Amino acid sequence: MFKSEAVKDIVNYGTLLVSAKSDGTYLYTASASPRVLHKYSLDSMTPVASTTIFSTTTTPTDLCLVPGSAIVVSSSARTAFVDLTTLYATEVTSNAAATTTSSMGNQIAYNSTSGLALATAAVNREMTLINPGVGTHSAFILTHAEVTGTTRASCVITKTASTHDTDTLSWLVGTTNGVILEVNSSATILKSINLPRTPNTGSTVYQGILGLSYSYPNLVVTTDHGLLYTYNYETSTIINKQMIADGVDTVGVQTGITVCPSATGFTMLGPGLARNAGGSPVVGMYFKETNPAFVVQDRDSAEAGFSTLLTNDYAVEVLYTSSPNRYSMRRYSTAGIKYTTEETEIHEPVGVRVPGRIIRIRDCGPGQSFVESDTSISAETTTISCRDGGTYIELAINDDDDMWDIREFTK
């Protein structure tokens, strides 16, 4: 179970950006009024510095960190590049574009392999490729049979390598008409998936994609219809489907569920904007397994509207309330998120190792357990991965005679 370990209320810092990012030491977020990039200590959650990022009225819509600097995109055709050491900010408008949405995050993603960032654009069938090294923008045309008419990219994340979660090889793009595109920096479509459009009885019903989170081999997708899909991305198959808050309120404002980047197959879900005074649960989700599990935090949020970020060291939730210009940051421990290993063996009788089957069930409490691994082992001590700080129920079965044993452990 992931736990809230620190809460910091930050008052009178203006309208808060819905997204924030961290380099593991500092937390960076931005506000629209004043138009400022904020730098906080992640340990103490106290302000370190801030800098003005835009010269004219615009709303920062997302940011990403690149080596040595941050890129802040906005609701108008202007981008800020900020040196993270000096906080010197440069504003660039040439060939820039406003992002597609302003309240859902996932509007820009940095690909460490190419050294380029890709942002959504409020332009039909286009995105913006950003080169942080020289501070330039270029149009990134989405060429795909399903991307037609007024279709736009609604969100973008980096796709990580299969072996671990650090190498970024390509981007995954969600569109306003329910298409997931994997693209490289040459705008080549490497793969695509169409979200379900049926059943329906009238004209084709599309689901707009609001958020994406990826951890090999699975991909989480939230939609404006209020559905959360977990795909096995490798096979393009849906392995889980969940009802969740829908995406557009009665005045057409995006309020659906946003999802933050994955930390080793764990992510957090929350509404992009305020839904109601009562708030909503903070929901953690383990989605790397074939049986994705939702883990409800031990506290409900009375604030409303939040964005989240995760690093391998911290999970930080940024909550926003409109009155009186106050927002809170909550930091979560990483217990049960990082991977580690635990040895095991099967004896029968005691002292004699035998082959068999080890089933590890991650125990997050009644209703919230899930099968994390199912491993056949030989008559040897075997090392099996598990999550640091996680509590497990381990079932050992000797298949020869169907004998079993159970142990519980917290790593």
Partner 1 sequence: MSLQHVTTISAAIGYTAGATNETDNQVMFGASDATFRRYDLSSFSQVGTNLSLAATSRGIAMLSSASAISFTSGSTIELIELATEYRQSYSGGSGLSSTYVSQTVASDPSAKVAIAASFNSARTLVKFDGNTFTASILQPSTWPGNATARCITLKESGKFLVGTSEGQIFEIDTNGAMLDSFSLLTYFGNAPASNRPSIIALSYSYGYVIAVDSNMNMTWIDWTTKTILQRLPIDSSTTDFTLCGSASGVTIAGRATAVDATTQNPIFEIDFSCMDSPGQLFSGDFGAIQGSGINTTTGRGWVFQANLNKIRVFDVVPRTRQERTISSPNGDSFRVIILDETSDLVKVLDTYTTSPRTVLLETGKNYIEMIKVGDGTNAPWDVSRYSL
Question: To the nearest whole angstrom, how small is the minimum distance from the Cβ of residue 231 to partner 1?
Answer: 14
Question: To the nearest whole angstrom, how small is the minimum distance from the Cβ of residue 373 to partner 1?
Answer: 9
User: Is residue 179 part of the contact set for partner 1 (CB under 8 A)?
Assistant: no
Judge contact between 107 and 85, C-beta under 8 A.
Answer: no
Judge contact between 180 and 195, C-beta under 8 A.
Answer: yes
Question: To the nearest whole angstrom, how small is the minimum distance from the Cβ of residue 38 to partner 1?
Answer: 21
Distance CA(244)–CA(223), nearest Å, equals 9
Indicate which single residue of 249, 380, 400, 401 sits in contact with partner 1 (rule: CB under 8 A). 249
Output 63 or 210, the one with its CB closest to partner 1. Answer: 210
Indicate which single residue of 45, 63, 117, 227 sits in contact with partner 1 (rule: CB under 8 A). 227
Distance CA(266)–CA(44), nearest Å, equals 24
Question: To the nearest whole angstrom, how small is the minimum distance from the Cβ of residue 105 to partner 1?
Answer: 16
Indicate which single residue of 241, 340, 341, 401 sits in contact with partner 1 (rule: CB under 8 A). 241
Closest CA to 73 of 139, 140, 126, 121: 121
Judge contact between 223 and 208, C-beta under 8 A.
Answer: yes
Output 132 or 174, the one with its CB closest to partner 1. Answer: 174
Question: To the nearest whole angstrom, how small is the minimum distance from the Cβ of residue 54 to partner 1?
Answer: 29
Output 158 or 230, the one with its CB closest to partner 1. Answer: 230
According to DSSP, the β-strands at 179-183 and 391-398 are unpaired
Element (H, E) at 149: none
Distance CA(1)–CA(363), nearest Å, equals 8
User: Is residue 149 part of the contact set for partner 1 (CB under 8 A)?
Assistant: no
DSSP assignment of 8-64 equals EEEES--EEEEEEEE-SSEEEEEEEETTEEEEEETTT--EEEEEE--SSS--EEEEE
Question: To the nearest whole angstrom, how small is the minimum distance from the Cβ of residue 262 to partner 1?
Answer: 19
Question: To the nearest whole angstrom, how small is the minimum distance from the Cβ of residue 328 to partner 1?
Answer: 9
Distance CA(281)–CA(306), nearest Å, equals 11
Residues 18 to 77: which contact partner 1 by CB under 8 A?
A: none
User: Is residue 369 part of the contact set for partner 1 (CB under 8 A)?
Assistant: yes
Stretch in the footprint of partner 1 (CB under 8 A) among 52-60, 85-93, 119-127, 242-250: 242-250
According to DSSP, the β-strands at 370-377 and 326-332 are unpaired
Distance CA(275)–CA(291), nearest Å, equals 29
Residues 256 to 315: which contact partner 1 by CB under 8 A?
A: 256-257, 269-271, 275-281, 283, 290-291, 294, 296, 299-303
Question: To the nearest whole angstrom, how small is the minimum distance from the Cβ of residue 149 to partner 1?
Answer: 14
Output 11 or 145, the one with its CB closest to partner 1. Answer: 11
Binding mask 312-351 for partner 1 (x = CB under 8 A): ---------x------------------------------
User: Is residue 224 part of the contact set for partner 1 (CB under 8 A)?
Assistant: yes
Question: To the nearest whole angstrom, how small is the minimum distance from the Cβ of residue 8 to partner 1?
Answer: 14
Output 42 or 180, the one with its CB closest to partner 1. Answer: 180
Instruction: Give φ, ψ of 35 to 5 degrees.
Output: -80, 85
Question: To the nearest whole angstrom, how small is the minimum distance from the Cβ of residue 317 to partner 1?
Answer: 13
Q: What is the DSSP secondary structure assignment for residue 263, as one 8-state letter?
A: B
C-alpha 388: how far from its chain's center?
A: 20
- As given in the structure block, the two tokens for residue 112 are 């460490």
3-state secondary structure of 314: coil
User: Is residue 401 part of the contact set for partner 1 (CB under 8 A)?
Assistant: no
Beta bridge mates, 110 = 117
Output 186 or 278, the one with its CB closest to partner 1. Answer: 278
Angle subtended at Cα 38 by Cα 36 and Cα 41, rounded to the nearest 5 degrees: 175
Distance CA(296)–CA(2), nearest Å, equals 9
Beta bridge mates, 252 = none
3-state secondary structure of 205: coil
Output 109 or 245, the one with its CB closest to partner 1. Answer: 245
User: Is residue 384 part of the contact set for partner 1 (CB under 8 A)?
Assistant: no
The contact set with partner 1 (CB under 8 A) reads: 196, 199-202, 205, 207-208, 224-227, 240-250, 252, 255-257, 269-271, 275-281, 283, 290-291, 294, 296, 299-303, 321, 359, 361, 366-371, 374, 393, 395, 402, 404, 406-409
